[in-house]
Amino acid sequence: MSNIYIGRYIAKESLIHRVNPLAKLLSIVIIIGAVAIAKSYYAIALSSFIFILILYVSNITLKEIYLTTKPFIFLLILTFIIQLLFSVDGSFSMDIKSNLANAIVVVVQFFLIIALSSIFTLTTSQVDIVRSILFFVKPFKKFVNINEIAISIIIAIRFIPLLFHEANTIIIAQKIRGIWVKGYKNIFKNVSIFFKAESFIIPLFVKVIDYAEKISITLKYKNNLDKIMIVEKLNYLDYVAIVISICIAVGIHNV
């Protein structure tokens, strides 16, 4: 659990890190949109190549991407199994050989969407993510409370990694006491610990309350969000990134 990278920002020096978060979000959305509608093998192959290229430019390692996408492995496996049992038109079919190709395309497609989204979160600070999202929400400020949305996003982004971190801290403490035992034979014993109030639930609950209290303090300053959530103007690099993403999307679509 200490290696959970969901919601984390990894500060590095790269071209992707220097791109304006607004342009970065727009570019990633454009590419993800193209990947989502890609159906041919060539389109998926091109999408995979583009992903590897973006990964290289962003200076994000394969291990970091793996740790980010690791929580979705079960979902990817489940998707693969479901695709094996259904044909392209959605009807149930036990012809696994015919469905195998489509299952591989769908799973790779799904993985690329998750991985590309992960590159955005890994190369963009949490405040910049909120700024970018709020930029698109601002036109609807007459209908929604922008400040409340900003605070909700910040809490959601920060709470997930903190929750995993505290759960991992509790497990480490249990290992020191000898409660948590390694080995596949003890897997059911370890799982049962999660449901014991005194050893896991209560310590985690106390930590959650502590974090909630700290976050509630920040809510007092939400009236200053208008000054904080200012998106910087796009520069030459940002426009180039958007144009390149459009070209990539067109290329994936036309392959």
In the chain, where are the structural domains located? 15-124+236-254, 139-228
CA distances in angstroms from 189 to 77, 180, 192, 193, 194, listed in the order given: 25, 8, 5, 7, 9
Q: pLDDT tens digits, residue range 142-199?
A: 776 766 666 666 666 666 666 666 666 766 766 666 655 554 444 444 555 555 545 5
At position 121, the amino acid (one-letter code) is T
Three-state secondary-structure class, residue 92: strand
Q: What residues contact residue 24 under an 8 Å CB cut-off, 6+ apart?
A: 16, 120, 123, 124, 132, 241
Q: What residues contact residue 66 under an 8 Å CB cut-off, 6+ apart?
A: none
**What is the C-alpha to C-alpha distance for residues 94 and 30, in angstroms, rounded to an integer?**
35
Query: Do 5 and 64 touch, CB atoms closer than 8 A?
Result: yes
pLDDT of residue 11: 83
- Checking if the pLDDT of 2 tops 60, the result is no
Q: pLDDT tens digits, residue range 74-122?
A: 888 888 888 888 776 667 777 777 788 888 888 999 999 999 988 998 8
pTM: predicted TM-score of the whole model, two decimal places = 0.72
